[in-house]
Structure 1
Amino acid sequence: MGSRHTGRCSMTQTRKKAAKPAAPVQSDWDRQLETERMHDRHYHRDPQPVPASRRFVVGQLVRYGSLPDCRVDVVEDEGRTLVISYANRGVKYGKPYDHGNRLPRVVRWHDVLPVVEEAPRQFTTDDNVWRRMTARPSTLDALIGNARRWGLIDSPDYQRSYVWTDENRANFLKSIFDQNDIGKFILVVHDYHETRVEVLDGKQRLKTLLDFTDSRFPYRGVYYHELHWRDRHIFNETLVQWIEVNRARVKRSDLLWLFLAVNAGGVPQTEEHVAHVRALYEEALRSEQALTLPA
C-alpha cells in the first residue's frame, strides 16, 4: 500500500517537473495591440483595394475620433493600415484619469486625419435653421397616431390646398407596400402642453395616410380595414423619418424659407403658389428687420 502511494507522489512530481515554462507576461501595450489586430482581422478580412490618398509617416501627429494626443507608430500595407498610439487619459464616470502611458489602436487610413492648420470656416453656419430641428425615426403607425393625437393646423397661409389625385394617392400607397422610401415629413410643433402641429413638408402624403387608414378610400379596391393582417402589419411598421421644428425657436421667415427649399419635388408647385409664398417670405423678412431696428 505504501509503495503504491509513494509511486503516485513520484509521478506527480515528475509531471510537475515536466510542465512547460510559463508564458512571458505581456505588457499592456502588447496585450492591447494583439486585441486590436484580432479586431482588425475580424472587421477587415479582405485587403482594401483602394490605395491610400493621405500618406502618413511614423511619428506624425494625427486625429482619430476623440482619442487624445494621437501619433502614428507603424505604417503597414502600403499606407492602408496604421498603428497609432494615444494617451491613456480621459474621463470615466465624471472623474478625470491619466494613467501616464500610451495604448495602441489599429486603424484604417481613411479614418485618420493629419493635424494641420485648419482653413477658416466658410461653408457652414450655426444659425442655419436645419440645425434647430430634431430628426425622429418612426413607423407609419406611430406617425399617424401622433398626428391624430396632436391635432393638425390644417392650412397655414403658405400651404396650398389638397391637390393629389386618386392616381397620386395610389402611387404613394404602392411605394409603401413595395417598401420604397417615401421621404421625410417636417412638422412644426406650436405648443408642447396643448400640442398643435402644422405640416411644413408632407401635407399631401400625411393626408393620404390619414384618409386611407380611416377607410375613406380603397387601394386597388381594398379598404384599410380589409387588408390581410400581414399587409397591414408591413404598412404600419414601414420606417419613416419625421423632423420636428419647435416653433418657438424659429422665425416666420425661417419657416417660409424652409417651405421653399424643400418643396421642389413631388407634385410641382404652381408658379402662382410659389410667388405667393415668396411674397409672404419677403414680407416676413421686412417685418422682422423692422423689429430689430432701433426706435
Structure 2
Amino acid sequence: MIEIPANPGQQAGAPQSSQQKPDAEKGAEPSVDGFTLSGAKLKGTQELSAALSASSFLKVAVEGDTVAILNVESRDIKRNPYLFSIIYFKPSSIEIAYSIIPGTSYRKRKIEVARHLLNVLTLAEGAYQADERQVFQYLQSVMKEITEFASSEYSDIFAKFDETQRGFTELRKKAELLEQQNAKIGKELIESRSANDELTLRVKELEGFSDDTLMVKIQDWLDVHRNEINVPEFSKQYGVVESRVEYILNRMVLAGYLELR
C-alpha cells in the first residue's frame, strides 16, 4: 500500500487544524492535511482497481481490501513526491490525504484536491459509492472556500490597482513639475548663453589692441589721411568697435595728442 505521513481522519467539511497552516507557510517541507468520507464498495477490490486504472496519470496500489490512488503533481530534488494527493478506497470509507507546499494558498489547494476527488469518484462509479450527503457537505465547504478565495483575490487585485493608480497619478504630477522646471531651466540657459556671448565678445574686444597700440594706429591713419579719420572705416579695418575708437580719440584729445578743428 502507498504510505505517506498523513492525518486523513478529519471528516468532510470539518475545520482545519490550527497548527497545520502555519507549518505549511514556515517549513521547507510540505505539510499534509486530509479528511474522510463514508462510502461502500459495490464490486470487488480488483474490479475497483481496474476501474481506477483507466487514467494513465494515476498510480494505483492494492493492499488487502483497500485500493489507493496516488496523484503526484511534483517531486523534490530527490524525486520524492512533493505536491501530491492519495485517495484510499476502504470497504466503508474514503480517506483523502494531500500535501500543501509552504507559502502557497491553503484555499486554492483545497479547491484543487476537490476537483481531483470528483474526477476519481467519476472513474469509480459503479464500483464504489461515496456517501452523497457527505460529498455534498464537502462540496458546500469547498464552494465557501472558492467564494472566500475569489473575494480575497479580487480584493488584493483592486487594492494593487488602486495603489498602482495612485502611484501613476503621483508620477504624472512629478512629470508635469519636471517639465515646467525643464522649461524654466531651458529659458534660463538661453539667457545665460546670450549673456555669455556678450561677455565673450567683450573679452575679445579687451584682448584686442591695447590703448597705446590703438593710439599709434589712429596716429598712422591721420598721417595717411591728412589728419582726418572715418571712424566706421577705421573700426572695420582694425576690427575694433566704434565706441572704443571714439573713446581713444577722446583720450588723445584730452592728452593733447590731437586738436579738434
TM-score (norm: length of structure 2): 0.30
Larger relative contact order (CA 8 Å, sep ≥ 6): 2
Q: Which has the larger radius of gyration?
A: 2
Normalised TM-score (structure 1): 0.27
> Which protein has the bigger helix share?
2
